[in-house]
Structure formats: structure tokens, C-alpha cells
Chain A
């Protein structure tokens, strides 16, 4: 276990909670929605357009006193594939890991096919991840069309 270094204290120190770092700046508010941050009652600090050594500008979210289930955190992998999760207890980082894109994505991505049943009836969208890595490809479970990551729209 390591003490948080000064330079990592980009926004504010956290006693207990979760820090989601290395969010692409254009995805920050999508991540906020996917994690349901606006329904939380604990204190949340959101950093936007921060300088990053790795990727130019980044976003960061610090949530006090909340430890998200892995399944919830992995929901953001589609928009923030390189996000780093820091779990903090007593001002110390007790766990540090990246997010993993699940095999199935339910209710997060809109199907880009206007003739798809999911755009015409009240049904949760469902995609299968058919390609991973730098060129993510999702296939709609219903209309069976495939979409590249730059064509993907978050609900």
C-alpha cells in the first residue's frame, strides 16, 4: 500500500471512496451518467480538462464513501477504455486496476439502425463485443448489425 503522491492529488484528497482517473475528457459526462453519480448523496469532485502526461486532457471523478461493484465500473469501459480505478481507504490506495469491457453490453448503447426493434419498442438494447482492443466492434443482439466504436452512441 502506498501513500497518495502529491501530484496525484489533482482535485482534492479523499479519506475513503473511489477515484476514477484517466477518463478521456470528451467522455467525462457520459461516465458521470453511466455511474449514476447524480443520484449519489455523498460528496463528489469532478475534474474536467485536467492536464495529463499520457493523453493531453483528461477527466477525473472522486467519489467519497462509495465503493462501486466491479460490474458497475465496467459499464464505463465502452467510453473510457483506459480508465484507472483507485479504491481508497484511510487516505491510502488499497486497490488500483483498469476497467474491463464486458462480453455483453445491456442497456448502455443505442443501436444505430433506425429499423432495429430496440429503436421502436420499449426493449433494452443488447450488444455483443465482437472485437476488442483499439478497434472495438459491437454487434446488436437483435438486428445483428455491427458498429465500430466511433459509431457508437451512448443512451
Chain B
């Protein structure tokens, strides 16, 4: 079924992304608007994610809509063996929009093909999480005043980190330059390097997290290095502290540098960075609210009055 669902950030053109950023800025200036009056939105979390669910539900509430749904699969009918297909069909009788998170990859794409109401993907396993990418783009846009010609340094787990993959691909409209900083086991997968080559995007790979790289960076995108990603635990013990950002490393960085992180962090950003004005990760999470308000209005075809 053809509708306005948002499954992957690549479903949107450059113009649509820019329009969404504009809408997000509008919601930041004025978050409480009755644009969803009379609408019911379902948040179906087949896999728990409190952070993402609260952000979406706040967005709906601030737009004056009502929320139904469940926060984990144990309380949903899928625990009784109901298929995703049947759950979506049942809920679409009640809601004008379905926001879903699922542990299976491709679940949202599949749902968008038969659902009578639009679907917003709030994460499908390790695959896509477009509202996270949208809030990353908005955070970059807001802090740099542009998305064009920026140097973005990605640090940590570049192999499994879906947020860095989606951000990389969404940035291709804007002529970025990338630095990939990771240990051997967690390097950027070949397919994304091929993507960069194909689109003439400049990138450099480093195993050292050096001040030299930080000093040429506009956006420093930190990610979690998780123990369970390693086949060799000796390697984990060796690298776990090599990709930690400390405040002292920022001494020579550019004034416009901002530090992003999808949160939650473990030890990849030292606490002494938090008080540095270049630390942006908590504000970044707040931007998620505005980005999600913009997304909800777009998929429902609601014009945002600017």
C-alpha cells in the first residue's frame, strides 16, 4: 500500500530533509501546538526502548494528539503468537498513525506495505532508525548553521553502529568529509566505503584517536564500544579505553566543534567533557522531540504553519 510511511531516512529527498529541518526549528520555537487534535497515534514497541518511546509520546502529547500502545512485546498480543501482520491490521482500526519499534529487521518496511495507516519506523533491529538520523541532522544543522561541506569524525564502533551508517548515507547530499576512527575489529564496513567512493565523498581511516584528527573536525560523533561486539575479549580489553574522549583532548579544537553521541554513553566520553560548551549530546537528545514532531506531521500530511 502506497502511503507516507517513514521507514528509512533514504526514503526522503534532499528537499524533504531540509523542509523537515525547518519544521523542527519551528517546533523548537513553539513546541505546543494543537496540530494533532482529534488524532490517535499508536506506539507499538515490540522491543522496549524507553528513551525513544518517551520522546515520540512527548511529541504526540505536545501536538495535542492521544496515544495508545504497548511498551514491550510481553504485554502485547504477539506474545500470544499473533503475527506482526495481524497486530498491525488490528491497531490500524483504532489509530491514525502507527509508530513501531521491532527487534526484527525489515519489520517496518513490511508493515508499511499493507498497513492502511502510515508507519513510522522507530527502529527495526540493527537496520534503520530514521528519527535518530533526523535528530542528528538537526543537531548538526543547528550547531553549524549549515549541513554543507562539514568534516565529521566518527569514533568507536563503526562496524555495528547503525546511527553512524544512517548518518553517513543521509549526509551524502551535503558534500561531507569523513574521518573514521576505530580499532581493527570495529572499522567502517566496506559497503559504506564503496558508497563514499561512488559518490565522491572524501574519507580517511584511523586506528589512533589523535588530537590531530579532532582539531580539523566540525562534528565529533562518538559511539559506544560494546563488549559483546568482540569475538576476541583480549582485543576488547586492549582497546576499550583507546577511544575515550577527555576534555584535555579538546584544547586545540575548532570553536565550532560540537560533540554528539546517540546516548546512553558508557565510558567513551569522560565526565570532565560534560561541562565543556562543545559537549552537545544532552541537547542533541532534546532535539529528538522537535525532529519527531516534524516527522509525525509530515507522515500525516499536516501542514506546519511557519
Contacts and interface: CB of A to CB of B under 8 A. Distances in A.
Contacts of B102: 117
Contacts of A141: 106, 109
A144 B105 contact: yes
A121 B109 CA distance: 13
Interface string A18-41: 000000000000000000000000
Nearest to B106: A142
Given A143-B127, A144-B8, A117 B104 contact: yes
A45 B129 CA distance: 52
Contacts of B191: 146
Contacts of B37: none
Interface in B178-209: 191
30 contacts: A113-B105, A115-B103, A115-B104, A115-B105, A117-B84, A117-B102, A117-B104, A117-B105, A117-B106, A117-B109, A117-B110, A117-B124, A118-B110, A120-B104, A121-B83, A121-B84, A123-B85, A140-B106, A141-B106, A142-B105, A142-B106, A142-B109, A142-B110, A143-B105, A143-B125, A143-B127, A144-B105, A144-B106, A144-B127, A146-B191
Contacts of B105: 113, 115-117, 142-145
Closest 3 CB pairs of A and B: A142-B106, A143-B105, A117-B106
B223 interface: no
A122 interface: yes
Interface centre among B8, B105, B110, B191 (most CB of A within 10 A): B105
A115 B110 CA distance: 13
Interface residues of B, number: 18
B107 A117 contact: yes
A29 to B, nearest CB: 29
Nearest to B125: A115
Interface in B77-111: 83-85, 102-107, 109-110
Q: How large is the interface on A (under 10, 10 to 19, 20 to 34, 35 or more residues)?
A: 10 to 19
B43 interface: no
Given A115-B126, A117-B84, 11 more contacts: A117-B106, A117-B109, A117-B110, A121-B110, A123-B110, A143-B105, A143-B127, A144-B8, A144-B106, A144-B127, A146-B191
A7 B76 CA distance: 66
Interface SS, A side: loop
B217 interface: no
Nearest to B8: A144
B262 to A, nearest CB: 19
Nearest to B126: A115
B139 interface: no
Contact of A116 (B8, B83, B84, B104): B104
B128 interface: yes
A115 B105 CA distance: 6
Contacts of A123: 85, 110
A122 B110 contact: no
Interface in A137-155: 140-146
A109 B105 CA distance: 17
B87 to A, nearest CB: 11
Interface string B270-286: 00000000000000000
A89 B289 CA distance: 68
A3 to B, nearest CB: 49
Contacts of A140: 106
A123 B86 CA distance: 13
Nearest to A122: B83
Contacts of B110: 117-118, 121, 123, 142
Contacts of A113: 105
Interface in A94-135: 113, 115-118, 120-123
A120 B111 CA distance: 13
Contacts of A144: 8, 105-106, 127-128
Contacts of A117: 84, 102, 104-107, 109-110, 124
